[in-house]
Amino acid sequence: MKDKNFAGLDLLRFFAAMTVCLYHVAFLSWAKADSSAAIIAGNFYRFDDFSGVLSVGWIGVEIFFVISGFVITFSADGSAWKFLRSRILRLYPAVWFCAPIALFISLCLDAFPLSEAPTRIVRSSLLWPKGNWVDGVYWTLGIEMSFYFLVYLLLKFAPRRSIIPMLVCLGTVSSTYWLGQFMAQSVWGISIIPEFLRQGGANRYMELSLIPHGCFFAIGGLAWNVLCNGRSRWLWLAIGFCTLGAVVEIQSANEIKQSWTGISTIIALPQLIWIASMVFLWVSVAKRDWMAQFIPVAAVRSMGKMTYPFYLLHTTVGCAVLFEFGLLGANRWVALAASLFITLVASYAVAQMIEPAIKNTLAKILDARLSSTLKMPGLNFRRLNTQSK
């Protein structure tokens, strides 16, 4: 099953990135004064008349996690090294270019002290799982890497078929965590989960364990096994259970984010957006041939490639553009449109020109290093390089 057949997933990935961008650039930039977005943007503009919609843009992260579970499960079709190599080449090249840009903008606009710059750039460049980073959006990458590492261990030490039990187990534990909390609060009015574990960033180790977000990865991975790999439809029961846990997690996350700003969202809007996205994912996969008739696949694929650098750049570049247009006294909608346009153009340039060049160089280094370590003259590294793209 080739990735290019899932053009709808690239559209969904781009939509998720855009919602997160609007959340940071058009909401947190004025609604949360101590956020890096607000510090960089300079408090020139407010979009409070649309706060009920903009305040739920963070739901894009939960959509990303499901897409990641789907894509990683079907891409883990070779050796552990092939999988690890593909993940390194996917994550690091864009970071190595985008992180210095984010650092430069943040320092210029006093988002954090100069003394913190060395630590932040090193942690960001290594994708260190625990902050501080050059930009807060890096918090999701550590969670992604935890999931990748779990898949890598299975490929290394267990048969590939063990991925399905792993996904069911991960989703069950994660969903039980959230449903247990929901039942305790609804029936007994108590919290069975300590407050420091419920707060998003207060316990990074809890996040890295995948317990809070594992239900999302499981939904994506199990969906691929049912829709594309011909696995038992009984897996839909596991998907349904994980969906219940995901809905509760979204509600919990929404309450936490409302506590940051004191601004209420439209009731159930984040859950509705996420469920609609899951329906679109199903259509994108189950009806991919039909969708291909209406979607310009090449253009949509380019949008999908832009998503990662766009995610890395949107807060710093987008808010910096708001700051510059604010100094000029421009209309807020003109400033927001310019912010999105410039960030998109920069992301396209990174995805099409800069990231591939870094990736090709890194691939040669990885393959040469492996060849030197294993000392296996008969290994065809050109073929390995081709298979893992």
Give the pLDDT score at 289. Answer: 82
Q: What's the whole-model pTM score?
A: 0.90
Give the pLDDT score at 75. Answer: 84
Give the pLDDT score at 76. Answer: 83
> In the 3-class helix/strand/coil scheme, how is 22-44 assigned residue by residue?
HHHHHHHHHHCCCCHHHHHHCCC
Give the pLDDT score at 372. Answer: 61
Q: The tokens of 237 are what?
A: 């029961």
Residue that wins the pLDDT comparison between 194 and 333: 333
Span of 103-107, 286-290, 347-351 with lowest mean pLDDT = 286-290
- The 10s digit of each residue's pLDDT in 174-205 is 999 999 988 887 777 666 555 544 544 447 88
pLDDT-derived band at 159, boundaries 50, 70, 90: confident
DSSP code at position 192: S
User: Is the Cβ–Cβ distance between 124 and 188 less than 8 Å?
Assistant: no
DSSP annotation string for 258-309:
HHHH--PPPTTHHHHHHHHHHHHHHHHHHTHHHHHTTS-HHHHHHHHHHHHH
- For residue 305, pLDDT over 80 is answered with yes
Give the pLDDT score at 192. Answer: 57
Give the pLDDT score at 25. Answer: 97
Residue that wins the pLDDT comparison between 387 and 351: 351
- The 10s digit of each residue's pLDDT in 311-322 is 999 999 999 999
Question: d(Cα 348, Cα 152) in Å, to the nearest integer?
Answer: 30
Averaged pLDDT score across all residues of the chain? 89
Span of 42-46, 144-148, 229-233 with lowest mean pLDDT = 229-233
**Rounded mean pLDDT of 353-373?**
86
- For residue 26, pLDDT over 70 is answered with yes
Question: d(Cα 252, Cα 161) in Å, to the nearest integer?
Answer: 33
